Amino acid sequence: MGIVVRNLSKRFGSFQAVDGVSFEVPSGQLVALLGPSGSGKSTILRIIAGLEPADSGEVELTGEDATHLPAQERGVGFVFQHYALFRHMSIRQNVAFGLEVQRPRASRKEINRRVEELLDLVQLLGYADRYPSQLSGGQRQRVALARALAPRPKVLLLDEPFGALDAKVRDELRAWLRKFHDEIHVTSLFVTHDQQEAFEVCDQMVVLNKGKVEQMGPPQELYEHPASPFVTEFLGAVNVLRVETVLGMDLVGEEMPIPLDIPGAGSNGGPAVYVRPHDFEVTRERNGRPAWTARVQRLTPLGGLVRLDLTLLDGTVLHVQLTRDRCLALGLSGGENVFVSPRDLKVFHEAKAFVENYVI
C-alpha cells in the first residue's frame, strides 16, 4: 500500500475538521480526495505530509508508520495550489533544492544530471535559468512538480494543483498530469473540490463531507452507484424529486415505476428520489411509458448538448439534458408541452443509508 490513513481526526478549536477518516491509496495509483471546501481534504493532505499534527489516528507511508515522523523524514513530495516556488532561485536551483539538502548529499554532477532529467520530464529544459516570475502559471506548476519529484519521494501529494490556473491551461495540465502519471507511476494523492477534475485524472476517488469519508472507489462506480444523497449531488448535476411527484406520474394504466411501499412514501420528509439530467426521455407523444406532462420553460444550447428547463403540473422544475441532435429531431421550442419520463431513479432510504436503483 502506498498510503494508509487510519482513524485520522483533527479539531481546530470547536471545528472538527477531520473526523475519523480511514482510507488507502494503493501503490502507483493516482487517487483524488474530493469534497467541498471545509470538508477537511486539505487538512488530511497536510497531516499525511507531516505539516500538521493529527489529534489522533495513524499514517503509514509505503508500509512504514509515519505518524510521528517530522515532514523532513517522510519522503513526500508536496505541490501547493499557488506553486510556492522559491522566488529568489532560478528554476534549476528550485529543482535542485531537494537534492542539495539531502544527507548524504549527492555530488554536484549527479545533482545536475537529475535536475536536467526532471526538467526534461516536465518539458522545461529550456527554462532552467529563468526565474519563477518569468514563467506562466502552468509552467510554474510543472516546476513545482519537478521540484517535488527530484528527491524521489515515496508519495506525491498535490493540494488543488490546478486551482490557480485559468480554464484552458487547467484542462491541458490535467490531461498532461494523467499522462505523466501513467509514465512515472508514483503513488499520488491529490485534493480537489472539482468533481470534473477528479473524474478526468484519478484512478480512484475518496469523497469527503464534513470531515468524514462518504464513499470511495473508482469514479464511474461512484457516479453510477452513489452511496448517499451527498455523493449523488456532489458528483454532478441531479434533479431531486419528492416521492409524491414520482408517484403522481401520469400512469395511464402502465406499471408503477417504483413500488408504492417505499418507506415514508406519501409523507413529508420521506425519501427523496434522484434523477440525473441525462437520464430523462423527452417525447412529443405518449409512448406507453409512465411519463409526466411538462411545459418547456427554456432551452439553453450548450454546444453539443441542450439544457431544457421543464415545469411539471405540480410545479416541480426539472433540468433535463438532451443531445443537440435529439432536440433538433423533436423540434422543441419554449412554451410547448412535452412528455418526459425518467430512465433511471435512485431512492435513498435515509435510515438504512441504502440505495436502490429503479431502471424503468
Partner 1 sequence: MAVDVATQAPPAVPRRPTPNAWGRRLLTAAVLGWFALLILVPTLALVRGAFSGGLAPFWQALSSPDALRAFRLTIGITLVATALNTVFGLAFAVVLVRHRFWGKTLADGLVDLPFAVSPIIAGLMLVILYGPQGWIGRWLESAGVRVVYAWPGMALATAFVTLPFVVREVVPVLREFGVEQEEVSYTLGAGRWTTFWRVTLPSVRWGLAYGVTLTVARSLGEFGALLVVSGNILGRTQTATLYVHDGIESFNTEGAYAASVLLAGVSFVLLIGMETLRKRVEARERPE
Question: Which residues form the interface with partner 1 (CB under 8 A)?
Answer: 49-51, 70-74, 76-78, 80, 82, 84-88, 97-98, 101-103, 131-134, 144, 147-148, 150-151
Cα–Cα distance between 350 and 271 in angstroms, integer?
7
Cα–Cα distance between 21 and 288 in angstroms, integer?
48
Q: Kindly list the distances between the CA atom of residue 320 and the CA atoms of 194, 310, 316, 342, in Å, as whole numbers in the listed order.
A: 22, 7, 13, 10
Cα–Cα distance between 56 and 59 in angstroms, integer?
10
* Least spacing, CB of residue 39 vs partner 1, in Å: 21
* Least spacing, CB of residue 49 vs partner 1, in Å: 6
Cell 491551461, residue located:
169
Q: Which is nearer to partner 1, 50 or 57 (CB)?
A: 50
Burial degree of 132 (CB within 10 A; 0-12, 13-18, 19+): buried
Q: Which is nearer to partner 1, 150 or 291 (CB)?
A: 150
Cα–Cα distance between 9 and 32 in angstroms, integer?
19
Q: 104 preceded by cis ω (within 30°)?
A: yes
